[in-house]
Structure 1
Amino acid sequence: MVKHSSRWFLFLALVLASINLRPAITSFAPLIERIASDLALSRGLVSLTTALPVLLMGLLAPLAPRLAVRFGLERAIALCLATVSLALSLRLFGHQEWILIGSAVLVGAAIAMAGPLLSGYIKRYFSDRMGKIAAWYALSMAIGGTLGAVVTAPVTDYLGGAWNLGLAAWTLPALLAFAIWLRLPNQPEASARNASGLPWRSGRAWLISLFFTLQAGLFYALVTWLVARYHEAGYGILHSNTFFSAFMLIGLPSSFAIPWLVQRFGHRYLWMAACGLVAACSLSLVAWAPQWSPLAVCMVLGVALNGSFSLSLVLPMYEASTPLDVSRLTAMMLCSGYGLACLSPILVGIGRDFAGDYQKPFTVLALLAVCMSLLALRLRPKLVMAK
């Protein structure tokens, strides 16, 4: 049993690691048009800075249980944070496009491993209050994603407008988290027997994974192109960034509040379906009526997508019985989810290049949100997933 004083340090480590899982991706959003212009890159190519990490978060997630068995859960997470720090520091040289895209590859690899490992970490140390800690986990990631989206542009302006310095500034919090994790005692996994097996034959695991795929695809498409959509609709960059900041900032309370409400009132799958329906309505307005209360629409959209993300994130912790099993189910969810979700920023960028505007790509996103809502209705509560 972990001592009470030690649990606060374990909780601090979890929060710092979670915060650093998103700024390396979301920090591109307010700068993406500037980067594309400076480096003379097409929108489809520059979207790789967001799409590649998401792709690798899917493809490499199955390796996370093996990493835990090889190095121990805590040291494996520390290694992931070290890799994030290295990737962010390389962005100092981001005017070389191959370095910029290469840093996205490193970020994706590190986050791919860290996600399943942190789910197992919560199961190991906080199994007696898993719902509450999982809500803090989701909130911490939302804080990191929001800070990356909101703070990067002002920091870049403060540093003389050098976007490579604005991107690289996120190295500092990543190094702080890495230093904290080095102080944690390492607990090796008892057995590697199930480390390589993911629950690919479980229909329930696939339902969970498909829901995660849809909500992640919507989120990363918006992280990449929401500012550009409102700019195209006639708003200035400042106003467009304000709408995007509202979309991200509202995720802070909603990513915590919605899991708390679900834990209190139950029926989490109905809440997931409601989030999908609200996202569909909001995206329809962004596509066809961008002049209609854009600040309110973006805030409602942020509540829906951050709520669906936090609810899907905690599912493996309730579905599996051991830390390693949680990591395995989470790895499958992230592998299939991010492996497909990474296509959404690219397809929206390509769709805009071909269609000449963002209306049609955002209409498709609204239809995907409807599919997400229908899929949630197919899910039913289950205490422990069959192995």
Structure 2
Amino acid sequence: MKPFPQGLLLLALVLAAINLRPGITSLAPLIERIATELALSRSLISLTTALPVLCMGLLAPFAPRLALRLGLERTIALCMALIALALLLRVMAHVSVILIGSAVLLGAAIAVAGPLLSGFIKRHFAGRMGSVVGWYSLSMAIGGAGGAVLTAPATQLLGDDWSHGLAVWALPALVGLLLWLCLPNRIETDGETAGGLPWRQPRAWLISAFFALQAGLFYALATWAVARYHEAGLSLIHSNSLFSVSMLMGLPSSFLLPWLAQRFQNRYALLMGCGLLSSISLMMITFQPTVLPELWAVTVGFGLGGSFALSLVLPLYEAASPMAVSRWTAMMLCMGYSLACLTPVLTGLARDLAGNYQLPFMVLTALALVMTLLAWVLGRGRVRAAA
């Protein structure tokens, strides 16, 4: 088979990654309005974030099996088609069942695409995984930030109809689908198909736990950060701008930190640094949200963006073949997202019960500290293994 241009392979990876987050983060600027118009409680409207994340966890283990049947590239193309369909359905999202159903379909597509994109990186970019993961995580951060920043203006341009503002994100998914359909498909060989998920590997469990904590924090903030700032007395415009800043700060950390991790082999020290930065930032958002809010919006975005990007690197160094990397990533996403989906719902429920956001945000701060401790444990384990 004639080699496919590396530039187009990287572009396909970037376009796929861009489409993994807007369907979720685009809801944050509109969530209070949607809840009011559809007469939904905060715990129920949070299902629009929680259900995709739950699907991303429960369905991730099926990704390697689908790739064995259809081929890695065609399976990812199918995921792009499902993401586009889910977002197009949001044109009819004034019916709450359709809004929540589109979230389930979106989560299923992202669940399968995530592990396979890691395998795609291992297959085509084995010699420069750090820099390519940087582009991969940067692209996801761009998609997430785009969803957070551009959805409100898009809604205004489209007749102030929030369902149209949500559905417009189907367009980049359709563009990604067209490119993925052009890629040569490869069915896995027998040597790459053996083995299941690494359930008996202690490090796989530690990596999965770390991923669960950082993902849970991200999706809790993606759902409730604007509401927390607004409750503290900031205007809705100011609150939305702070959330947008946090999303945008994921861009530099998503690209820079995987590159630094490969160049200096210090990924666990960087993980600890991101955990500490996130912990301090969340502590301030919890107890003093109106004191230098722009600073803490910047630092929490940088810390959580870096934690996510570095967690994507970890399976690439634990497994040798593309399918093995996909299996490690599938376990990480399965365990991580299955637990992370609880944080938006529990945060919303705690807000309904407590009457304010301070109590749930105190718990989020504690989770960030646990995430920092796990990064230290992972680093110590790697040092012992190398000794």
Q: So what's the TM-score if we normalise by structure 2?
A: 0.97
Which piece of structure 1 moves more, 269-278 or 186-195?
186-195
Q: Which residue of 1 aligns with 2:29?
A: 30
Amino acid at match of 2:45: V
TM-aligned CA deviation for residue 261 of structure 1 = 2.0
Asked if 1:367 corresponds to 2:357, the answer is: no
Q: Which residue of 2 aligns with 1:276?
A: 275
In the alignment, the residues of structure 2 paired with residue 263 and residue 75 of structure 1 have an alpha-carbon distance, to the nearest angstrom, of 30
In the alignment, the residues of structure 2 paired with residue 326 and residue 134 of structure 1 have an alpha-carbon distance, to the nearest angstrom, of 13
Asked if 1:330 corresponds to 2:333, the answer is: no
Which piece of structure 1 moves more, 336-345 or 186-195?
186-195
Which piece of structure 1 moves more, 110-119 or 269-278?
269-278
TM-aligned CA deviation for residue 382 of structure 1 = 5.0
TM-aligned CA deviation for residue 12 of structure 1 = 0.6
Asked if 1:222 corresponds to 2:217, the answer is: no
Amino acid at match of 1:188: I
Native 8 Å contact 1:319 1:382 kept in 2: no
Q: Which residue of 1 aligns with 2:61?
A: 62
Q: Which residue of 2 aligns with 1:377?
A: 376
In the alignment, the residues of structure 2 paired with residue 296 and residue 128 of structure 1 have an alpha-carbon distance, to the nearest angstrom, of 37
Native 8 Å contact 1:95 1:164 kept in 2: yes
Which piece of structure 1 moves more, 104-113 or 189-198?
189-198
Native 8 Å contact 1:273 1:376 kept in 2: yes
TM-aligned CA deviation for residue 318 of structure 1 = 1.3
Asked if 1:72 corresponds to 2:71, the answer is: yes
Native 8 Å contact 2:192 2:321 kept in 1: no
Q: Which residue of 1 aligns with 2:107?
A: 108
Native 8 Å contact 1:65 1:196 kept in 2: no
1:209-240 per-residue CA deviation (whole Å, 9 max, x = no partner) reads 00001000000000000000000011111000
Q: Trace 1:120-139 onto structure 2 (pairs within 5 A).
A: 120-139=119-138
Native 8 Å contact 2:130 2:261 kept in 1: no
In the alignment, the residues of structure 2 paired with residue 342 and residue 192 of structure 1 have an alpha-carbon distance, to the nearest angstrom, of 35
Gaps of 5+ in 2: none
Native 8 Å contact 2:47 2:100 kept in 1: yes
Q: Which residue of 2 aligns with 1:99?
A: 98
Partner secondary structure for residue 201 of structure 1: coil
Q: Trace 1:1-387 onto structure 2 (pairs within 5 A).
A: 3=3, 6-191=5-190, 194=193, 197-380=196-379, 382=382
Q: So what's the TM-score if we normalise by structure 1?
A: 0.97
Amino acid at match of 1:68: A
Native 8 Å contact 2:198 2:328 kept in 1: yes
Amino acid at match of 2:205: W
Gaps of 5+ in 1: none
1:194-223 per-residue CA deviation (whole Å, 9 max, x = no partner) reads 466100010010011000010000000000
1:111-163 per-residue CA deviation (whole Å, 9 max, x = no partner) reads 00000000000001111111110110000000000001100000001111100
Q: CA 1:382–1:126 in 2, change beyond 3 Å: closer, same or farther?
A: farther
Amino acid at match of 2:353: F
Corresponding residue pairs, total: 383
